[in-house]
Amino acid sequence: MPTNRSSDASTITHGELGRIEPFDQISSPGCYILKQTGTLLRVPPDALLPGRSPAIDVVSKDQWLVTKISSDPYMVLSKARSVAADLDLPVNF
């Protein structure tokens, strides 16, 4: 499992890495993988500001589950693919 090193500040701590949560309960910025499709979701800090309209409104009969892979919403794609693969997540980006 990847570790949180000072040279890699964009990787989140062990307790948060790989945590699965519903899309509509995302409460912190970062990079997330949509478990059903392997799609990378970037959630910038301004998307979560109080009183702000949702940046994305998803309507689906199925619950979207996401896995947080980084606190950095602008993580480099090659690194995001590597982290997702290390967590055995689908990669479709």
- Reported as a single tens digit per residue, the pLDDT across 24-83 is 899 899 999 999 999 999 999 988 888 776 667 778 899 999 999 999 999 999 999 999
72 within some domain: yes
Q: What is residue 15's predicted lDDT score, i.e. its pLDDT?
A: 61
- Are 64 and 43 contacting, i.e. CB atoms less than 8 angstroms apart? no
C-beta neighbour count of 53 within 10 angstroms: 7
Q: Whole-angstrom Cα distance, residue 91 to residue 82?
A: 9
92 within some domain: no
For the chain, how many structural domains are there in total? 1
14 within some domain: no
Q: Whole-angstrom Cα distance, residue 65 to residue 54?
A: 17
59 within some domain: yes
Residue 8 — pLDDT band, cuts 50, 70, 90? very low
78 within some domain: yes
56 within some domain: yes
Global model pTM greater than 0.85: no
Q: Whole-angstrom Cα distance, residue 93 to residue 88?
A: 15
Range of the domain at 60: 20-86
53 within some domain: yes
Q: What is residue 12's predicted lDDT score, i.e. its pLDDT?
A: 47
